[in-house]
Every structure is written in C-alpha cells, then in structure tokens.
Amino acid sequence: MIELHYNDRGLIPAVVQDAVSGEVLMVAWMNAEALHLTQVTGLAHFWSRSRQALWRKGETSGNVLRVDRIYVDCDADTLLLRVHPAGPTCHTGAVSCFYRILPNENGETNVE
C-alpha cells in the first residue's frame, strides 16, 4: 500500500487527464473520502475548497469522469487520474479547463 502525503488541510492535488487523447483536462483537490469514493464508484470525486464540500464531477452537468487508472507521483503527494470524460470537463463548456494561453510579456502566445 502506498502512503499518500496529504497537505496540512488533508488534501492532495489531482491532475485529471483524458485516458485516450492524453490531454490534461483539469486539476482539483481530493481528500481521503473523495479518493475512497472515486476508487469505490469509478467516478471522480473531489473536495471543493470554496464550498468546503465533497462533490462528484458531473453531478449537475452529467459530464462525469469515469476513472480508468489512478497514478501516484514519486513523492506520493500528487495524483494523476486517467479518465474517460462523458462530455466537456470545464464548467465553461470547454473540453479542458486549460483552453487559454498565457501570453509572454510582449503579448505573444508563441514562445518558440
């Protein structure tokens, strides 16, 4: 059994990645209960820091995340969830929460 290292609030970051495309879809926080529910149900559950509540991704939109595998990083302080999304992941309707490019100081988005 791998001993996970939660932060001082009992949370661990979870990077969510599409199991087919490899695209990073979102980053969220999990506590031990969210991780347990995810493992038991096969659907991604998280901890909302703003609402101080447990939530299942897609509970209102229907865009659930079916978990294929959960990986742990080398320090055991971050999780990677490989998922099969049932629709857009972002609350904005975008496929991924990472759809905006941060420009450099010159306003350019291409850094090559």
Question: Among the residues of the chain, which ranges form H helices?
Answer: 32-41
Q: In the prediction, which pLDDT does 105 show?
A: 86
What CATH code is assigned to 22-85? 3.10.20.810
Q: What is the pTM of this model?
A: 0.91
Please check whether residue 13 is in contact with residue 26, taking contact to mean a CB–CB distance below 8 angstroms. no
At 72-103, the pLDDT tens digits run: 999 999 999 999 999 999 999 999 999 999 98
At 41-78, the pLDDT tens digits run: 999 999 999 999 999 999 999 999 999 999 999 999 99
In Å, how far are 2, 68, 87 from 20, measured between CA atoms? 26, 10, 14
Residue type, 59: E
pLDDT above 70 for 111: no
Q: In the prediction, which pLDDT does 99 show?
A: 93
Q: In the prediction, which pLDDT does 104 show?
A: 87
